[in-house]
């Protein structure tokens, strides 16, 4: 399985109803759109999107799916904050029929999952808000390969409003 980990976008610092109710700020929506554009343009769209039930993660997943022209995400309670690496792998085993899966969630869960999957104890992986990682995994087996880790600033600027799907490949350059 090719597993994409998308950390939720930038969210408000505080919400009167608690941490789980914190919503994305405009920059967070832009981060989600950038990842949608990037994966669509590269031809790496997932077959299914799973998301944490927390507001900021659901909003990130919704914005990603809209931008990429995908059906909406499937909410998974196990992706809420505090999910252990072993639990993530065990839960992903239920999705073994999918070649590409994208999960939207939180830190430090994602960086710990990367560390656990690749056996890089003592190493540090940092998933920035709106950052994307890709692992080759075979849940529930532990061993995985980190294919890439992209901070949000390296994702392309999103020009799409969500009403149109992004192009399947970059436009060809014209000479003049």
Estimate the share of the chain in helix, then strand, then coil, as percent rounded to the nearest 5: 35, 20, 45
> In the prediction, which pLDDT does 157 show?
62
HSE (side-chain half, CA atoms, 13 Å) at 135: 27
Per-10-residue mean pLDDT, the chain, length 176: 97 93 96 95 96 98 97 97 94 97 97 93 87 96 93 71 41 41
> In the prediction, which pLDDT does 142 show?
86
Q: pTM of the entire structure?
A: 0.87
How is the chain split into domains, by residue range? 2-138
Among candidates 51, 55, 7, which has minimal Cα distance to 31?
Answer: 7
Under CATH, domain 2-138 is a member of which superfamily? Phosphoglycerate mutase-like (3.40.50.1240)
């Amino acid at each position: 399985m090719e597993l994409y980990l998308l950390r939720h976008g930038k969210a408000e610092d505080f919400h009167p109803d608690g941490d789980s109710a914190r919503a994305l700020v405009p920059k967070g929506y832009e981060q989600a759109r950038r990842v949608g554009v990037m994966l669509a343009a590269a031809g790496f769209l997932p077959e299914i999107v799973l998301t944490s039930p927390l507001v900021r993660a659901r909003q990130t997943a919704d914005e990603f799916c809209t931008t990429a022209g995908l059906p909406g995400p499937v909410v998974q309670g196990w992706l809420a904050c505090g999910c252990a690496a072993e639990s993530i792998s065990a839960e992903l085993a239920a999705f073994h029929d999918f070649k590409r899966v994208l999960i939207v969630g939180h830190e430090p869960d994602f960086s710990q999952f990367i560390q656990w999957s690749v056996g890089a104890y003592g190493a540090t992986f940092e998933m920035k808000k709106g950052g994307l990682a890709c692992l080759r995994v075979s849940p529930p087996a532990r061993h995985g390969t980190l294919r890439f880790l992209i901070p949000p600033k390296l994702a392309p600027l999103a020009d799409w409003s969500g009403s149109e799907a992004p192009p399947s490949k970059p436009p060809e350059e014209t000479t003049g």
